[in-house]
């Protein structure tokens, strides 16, 4: 059986991902992401561009191309990384049942302090 | 959503020649059109930004808008006038269905859509062979009570006896399986005589309202035939014999042998009446027939084993939109990268209302030896690769796509349009709905990812550009540096051969010139061997062999044979191009690895992040001094609009055993690639545990240089993302400087003196 996310063992990778959603990742985080980023279902989560390089929303793409892509207009992201984090939190909950109540960036991080 | 789109009737046009444009204004709004020279198609604010220079032209105007549709689906059509008047008849074919969930898949029809009259033999969505006869408002349907299986061959037969008033229908599998009920024959009284309409016979389709052809068949059809009179199913065996018995031959109204003229769209009737036909929308030829034994793999050796055509309801050659306007290229228009911008309103977060229809203006045509030299520098636009990737839709269809790129799949309005309009048809990376790989790709249709402003899911984090738009980074750099250059295309190279290049001193490739016809390969290699200077500014080039069709313009073929990075694989026995009879697949598999052309060859790919190069010892070789003039940096290209580095997406390295010349200098090598950048499968026999760039030293790009015996030279960067680093810091960086150093030296007439041999 392929690897299943273990919330206790894989917890350190949450922070690794939050700090760097797109880029070099440790083998452990890659295993988590590979588990998350595959869904045999008939709908795929996607990122929809609202304003190129400025605004995105999450969306759902049906594999049946006669059905429309649906955008989630309730939350607009101003960076791809922020959207990646939102999707990570959603998938973490789907795999583990745990809700991650962590913002993408803390107030200190927004201000640029450690 | 995308609200306007279009395509040109050619990708390359010379001064004095005409080019036509097809436009669809999706909601019917009137639109404006204007000519621009494309300098940069990247909207990323971190880079130069979109740059389109207006060019005054005769097409600049406002046009009435209307939506234009596409009618996909391949079929055969032939007139059989002997069947225009009432007669008993029999239909035969050997079929291999591939998508039985679709309903009304017509095998053979003679049908008038307006009056809904005629007959059609088809397969239903539960695999039942069915015959319908109709005359105006009356119709009769007869179906067998067994189901076909997908990808099994069946003899099918239907006879209509007007005198006895009887329909006979049968199917018989070529291979029988235990406990499988797929053989049947049935009889029914003929209650509705078919109207013998003056319509042509269609195979794998049926005329529909509005001039469309619908109800296409997905699968292979072999040896379709129409006979006069009532013949039993067993007659099919007699039809397979050669020569055909003369008594049987006299009854043949049409017997189409698809094994004749495989490299054409012509269909030959081997009966005596000459009811030849033609194929439409490019069904696949050179396909194994029902009688393929595995003994022969090349259709030119035994064409009779390749008597099948594979039809698909989603094949497309020519969208055939009405021409919106035509531009005659002025004699004084400089060669370059151009587009017609069409716009039917303002762009908003919900709608994109402008679209750039790209094309290239090549320098004026000339008779050989009759005119002066062309410019010194040519950008060879890889239109073969652009066509191969035309409407690449794996972000829509491939389950692995998000894992592959290491981030969410990004959809702009154009991607949403592509999702909702599969009829634009896919690329050579996609598969038809029945699962068979797309092996033909045409440019006579809207190509949604061949346009300025398009950001590709595959194009690396950041600017996310791939192919055409990625190449505009190079074009914007040429503009910024003030180089004069011509643009010629792959299709020009295929058609003109080495004559196209003969007086260019330098040829620059695009970022990913992956697809080469044999004629293209021979021409470019001959030019290099004659002293040309090639700057190969990408990676995974000269990789797949393609073929152009000898009758139809603007369509290429690939057979994904045996090896290589393949999103689908050709079936055993179907490795040879139908267009030429050549073995398809990787150039590496015919002894012409990319290394033979450019000193390096494809070794790894990964689409998350790009990396950088570290200077290698050969950088200090005096032969390379001109390359590094003004560049002392140890690290090269640790920045970039594509993935953040000059080394990434796809990587090439030096391998002398594959043909890299022994005098090749390894100037720099990339490192620190991620786990997602992996060795390509032709690099190993047994799958290694350390596939990723974080563990495997073979995962690297080599920056390479070598001189040729004729005084020319080759400079190769080995990375698709190299050109994405050129614009950084106002085009002032070490990638830009190295590229400029090489181009200025390559454009200089002074020959490269070959290195002295060690014995001297």
What pLDDT does residue B330 have? Answer: 96
Residue B565's Cα: distance from chain center in Å? Answer: 16
Structural contact between residues B283 and B312, judged by C-beta atoms closer than 8 angstroms: yes
Other Cβ atoms less than 10 A from the Cβ of B662: the count is 7
Q: Is the pLDDT of residue B371 over 60?
A: no
| Tokens 């009435």 sit on residue | B64
CB contact under 8 A, B408 and A45: yes
DSSP 8-state symbol, B462: B
Taking alpha carbons only, the member of B435, B551, B535 closest to residue B744 is B535
Q: Is the pLDDT of residue B302 over 90?
A: yes
Average pLDDT (B286-290) is 98
Q: B753 pLDDT band (50/70/90 cuts)?
A: confident
What pLDDT does residue A113 have? Answer: 56
Taking alpha carbons only, the member of B719, B703, B470, B735 closest to residue B606 is B719
CB contact under 8 A, B402 and A37: yes
d(CA B199, CA B207): 9
Q: Is A50 on the interface with B (CB under 8 A)?
A: yes
How many residues are recorded in chain B? 760
Contacts of B536 (CB under 8 A, 6+ apart): B509, B513, B597, B598, B600, B714, B715, B716, B717
pLDDT single digits (tens) A16-62: 999 999 999 999 999 999 999 988 888 999 999 999 999 999 999 99
Specify which residues B714 forms β-bridges with.
B534, B706
Strands B219-228 and B89-97: antiparallel
Q: Rounded to a whole number, what is the distance in Å from the CA of A51 to chain B's nearest CA?
A: 6
d(CA B341, CA B351): 16
Q: Is B296 on the interface with A (CB under 8 A)?
A: no
Instruction: Please state whether A15 falls in left (phi above 0), alpha (psi between -120 and 50) or beta.
Output: alpha
What pLDDT does residue B399 have? Answer: 87
What pLDDT does residue B754 have? Answer: 59
Q: Is the pLDDT of residue B583 over 50?
A: yes
Helix (H) or strand (E) holding B595: helix B594-598
pLDDT single digits (tens) B2-60: 999 999 999 999 999 999 999 999 999 999 999 999 999 999 999 999 999 999 999 99
Q: A106 pLDDT band (50/70/90 cuts)?
A: confident
Q: Which domain holds residue A64?
A: 12-102
Instruction: List the single best residue of A32, A48, A89 to mutate versus B (max B Cβ within 10 A).
Output: A48
pLDDT single digits (tens) A50-99: 999 999 999 999 999 999 999 999 999 999 999 999 999 999 999 999 99
ipTM score here? 0.96
Taking alpha carbons only, the member of B550, B562, B606 closest to residue B587 is B562
Residue A61 lies in a domain: yes
Identify the closest residue of chain B to A76 by CA–CA distance. B349
Structural contact between residues B620 and B580, judged by C-beta atoms closer than 8 angstroms: no
Which 3 state secondary structure label does DSSP give B536?
Answer: strand
Taking alpha carbons only, the member of B459, B481, B460, B493 closest to residue B382 is B493
Instruction: Please state whether B232 falls in left (phi above 0), alpha (psi between -120 and 50) or beta.
Output: beta
Residue A94 lies in a domain: yes
What pLDDT does residue B759 have? Answer: 44
Q: Which contacts qualify for A25-28: CB closer than 8 Å, 24 or more apart?
A: A25/B406, A25/B674, A25/B675, A27/B675, A27/B694
Q: Is the pLDDT of residue A105 over 90?
A: no
Tokens of B194: 């078919």
CB contact under 8 A, B410 and A61: no
Q: Is the pLDDT of residue B370 over 90?
A: no
What pLDDT does residue A28 have? Answer: 96
How much of chain B, in percent, has pLDDT values that exceed 70?
98
Taking alpha carbons only, the member of B110, B116, B146, B153 closest to residue B130 is B146
Other Cβ atoms less than 10 A from the Cβ of B690: the count is 14
Q: Is B50 on the interface with A (CB under 8 A)?
A: no
Average pLDDT (B433-450) is 98
Residue A109 lies in a domain: no
Instruction: Please state whether B162 falls in left (phi above 0), alpha (psi between -120 and 50) or beta.
Output: alpha
Other Cβ atoms less than 10 A from the Cβ of B245: the count is 11
> What is the number of domains present in chain A?
1
Average pLDDT (B613-628) is 97
Phi/psi of residue B659, each to 5°? 120, 0
Cβ contacts of A56 on chain B, cutoff 8 Å: 410
Q: Is A97 on the interface with B (CB under 8 A)?
A: no
Q: B365 pLDDT band (50/70/90 cuts)?
A: confident
Cβ contacts of A24 on chain B, cutoff 8 Å: 609, 674
Q: Is A46 on the interface with B (CB under 8 A)?
A: yes
Q: Is the pLDDT of residue A2 over 90?
A: no
pLDDT single digits (tens) B251-273: 999 999 999 999 999 999 999 99
Phi/psi of residue A62, each to 5°? -70, 140
Helix (H) or strand (E) holding B388: helix B383-388
CB contact under 8 A, A83 and B399: no
d(CA A114, CA B681): 43
What pLDDT does residue B372 have? Answer: 47
Strands B515-517 and B635-636: unpaired
CB contact under 8 A, A69 and B403: no
pLDDT single digits (tens) B492-530: 999 999 999 988 999 999 999 999 999 999 999 999 999
pLDDT single digits (tens) B696-728: 999 999 999 999 999 999 999 999 999 999 999
Catalogue all structural domains in chain B, each as residue range(s) with its CATH number. 75-311 (2.60.120.200), 592-654+669-746 (no CATH)
Residue A107 lies in a domain: no
Q: Is the pLDDT of residue B368 over 80?
A: no
Helix ranges (DSSP H) in B221-314 = 235-240, 246-249
pLDDT single digits (tens) B215-226: 999 999 999 999
Residue A58 lies in a domain: yes
Average pLDDT (B470-480) is 98
Q: B758 pLDDT band (50/70/90 cuts)?
A: very low
A110 or A16, which is more confident: A16
Instruction: List the single best residue of A24, A41, A56 to mutate versus B (max B Cβ within 10 A).
Output: A24
Q: What's the mean pLDDT when you consider all of chain B?
A: 96
**Torsion, Cα of B608, A65, B349, B8 (10° steps):** 90
Structural contact between residues B368 and B496, judged by C-beta atoms closer than 8 angstroms: no
d(CA B221, CA B92): 10
What pLDDT does residue B755 have? Answer: 57
Average pLDDT (B603-617) is 97
d(CA A30, CA B406): 9
């Amino acid at each position: 059986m392929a690897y299943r996310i273990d919330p206790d063992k894989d917890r350190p990778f949450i922070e690794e991902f939050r700090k760097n959603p797109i880029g070099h990742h440790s083998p452990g985080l890659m295993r988590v992401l590979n588990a998350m980023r595959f869904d045999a279902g008939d709908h795929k989560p996607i990122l929809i561009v609202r304003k190129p390089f400025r605004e995105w929303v999450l969306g759902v793409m049906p594999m049946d191309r006669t059905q429309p892509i649906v955008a989630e207009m309730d939350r607009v992201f101003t960076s791809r990384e922020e959207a990646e984090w939102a999707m990570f939190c959603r998938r973490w909950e789907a795999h583990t049942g745990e809700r991650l109540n962590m913002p993408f960036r803390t107030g200190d991080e927004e201000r640029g302090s450690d | 959503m995308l609200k306007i789109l279009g395509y040109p009737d050619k990708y390359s046009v010379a001064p004095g020649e005409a080019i036509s444009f097809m436009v669809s204004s999706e909601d019917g709004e009137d639109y404006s059109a204007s000519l621009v020279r494309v300098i940069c198609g990247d909207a990323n604010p971190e880079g130069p930004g979109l740059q389109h220079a207006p060019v005054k032209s005769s097409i600049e105007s406002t046009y009435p808008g209307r939506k234009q549709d596409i009618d996909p689906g391949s079929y055969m059509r032939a007139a059989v006038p002997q069947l225009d008047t009432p007669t008993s008849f029999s239909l035969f074919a050997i079929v291999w269905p591939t998508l039985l969930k679709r309903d009304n898949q017509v095998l053979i029809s003679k049908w008038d859509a307006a009056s809904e009259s005629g007959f059609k033999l088809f397969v239903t969505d539960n695999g039942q062979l069915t015959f319908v006869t109709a005359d105006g408002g009356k119709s009769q349907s007869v179906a067998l009570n067994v189901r076909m299986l997908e990808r099994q061959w069946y003899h099918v037969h239907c006879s209509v006896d007007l005198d006895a008033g009887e329909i006979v229908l049968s199917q018989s599998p070529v291979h029988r399986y235990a406990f499988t009920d797929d053989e049947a024959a049935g009889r029914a009284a003929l209650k509705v005589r078919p109207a013998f309409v003056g319509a042509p016979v269609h195979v794998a389709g049926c005329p529909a309202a509005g001039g469309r052809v619908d109800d296409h068949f997905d699968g292979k059809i072999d040896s379709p035939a129409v006979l006069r009179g009532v013949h039993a199913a067993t007659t099919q065996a007699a039809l397979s014999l050669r020569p055909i018995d003369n008594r049987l031959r006299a009854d043949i109204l049409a017997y189409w042998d698809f094994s004749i003229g495989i490299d054409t769209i012509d269909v030959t009737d081997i009966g005596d009446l000459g009811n030849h036909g033609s194929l439409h929308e490019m069904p696949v030829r050179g396909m194994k027939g029902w009688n393929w034994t595995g003994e022969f793999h090349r259709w030119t050796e035994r064409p009779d084993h390749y008597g099948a055509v594979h039809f698909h309801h989603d094949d497309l050659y020519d969208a055939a939109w009405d021409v919106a306007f035509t531009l005659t290229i002025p004699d004084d228009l400089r060669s370059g990268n151009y587009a017609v911008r069409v716009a039917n309103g303002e762009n908003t977060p919900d709608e994109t209302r402008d679209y750039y229809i790209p094309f290239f203006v090549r320098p004026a045509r000339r008779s050989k030896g009759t005119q002066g030299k062309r410019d010194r520098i040519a950008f060879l636009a890889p239109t073969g690769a652009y066509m191969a990737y035309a409407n690449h839709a794996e972000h829509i269809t491939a389950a692995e796509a998000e894992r592959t790129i290491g981030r969410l799949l990004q959809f702009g309005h154009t991607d949403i349009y592509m999702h909702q309009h599969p009829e634009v048809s896919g690329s050579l990376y996609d598969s038809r709905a029945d699962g068979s790989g797309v092996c033909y790709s045409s440019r006579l249709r809207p190509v949604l990812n061949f346009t300025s402003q398009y950001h590709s899911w595959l194009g690396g984090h950041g600017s996310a550009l791939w192919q055409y738009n990625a190449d505009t980074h190079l074009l914007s750099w040429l503009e910024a540096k003030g180089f004069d250059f011509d643009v010629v295309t792959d299709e020009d190279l295929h058609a003109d051969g080495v004559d196209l290049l003969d007086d260019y001193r330098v040829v620059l490739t695009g970022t990913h010139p992956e697809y080469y016809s044999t004629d293209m390969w021979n021409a470019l290699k001959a030019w290099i061997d004659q002293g040309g200077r090639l700057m190969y500014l990408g990676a995974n080039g000269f990789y797949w062999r393609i073929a152009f069709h000898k009758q139809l313009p603007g369509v290429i073929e690939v057979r994904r044979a045996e090896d290589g990075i393949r999103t689908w694989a050709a079936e055993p026995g179907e490795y040879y191009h139908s267009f030429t009879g050549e073995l398809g697949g990787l150039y590496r598999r015919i002894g012409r690895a990319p290394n033979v052309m450019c000193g390096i060859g494809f070794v790894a790919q990964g689409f998350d992040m790009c990396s950088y190069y570290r200077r290698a010892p050969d950088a200090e070789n005096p032969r390379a001094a001109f390359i590094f003039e003004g560049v002392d940096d140890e690290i090269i290209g640790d920045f970039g609009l594509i993935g953040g580095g000059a080394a990434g997406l796809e990587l090439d390295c030096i391998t002398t055993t594959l043909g890299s010349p022994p005098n090749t200098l390894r100037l720099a090598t990339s490192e620190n690639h991620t786990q997602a950048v992996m060795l390509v499968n032709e690099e190993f026999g047994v799958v290694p545990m350390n596939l990723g760039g974080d563990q495997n030293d073979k995962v690297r790009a080599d920056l390479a240089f070598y001189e040729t015996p004729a005084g020319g030279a080759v400079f190769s960067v080995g990375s698709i993302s190299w050109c994405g680093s050129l614009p950084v810091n106002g085009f002032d960086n070490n990638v830009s400087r190295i590229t400029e150093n090489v181009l200025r030296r390559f454009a200089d007439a002074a020959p490269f003196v070959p290195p002295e041999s060690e014995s001297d």
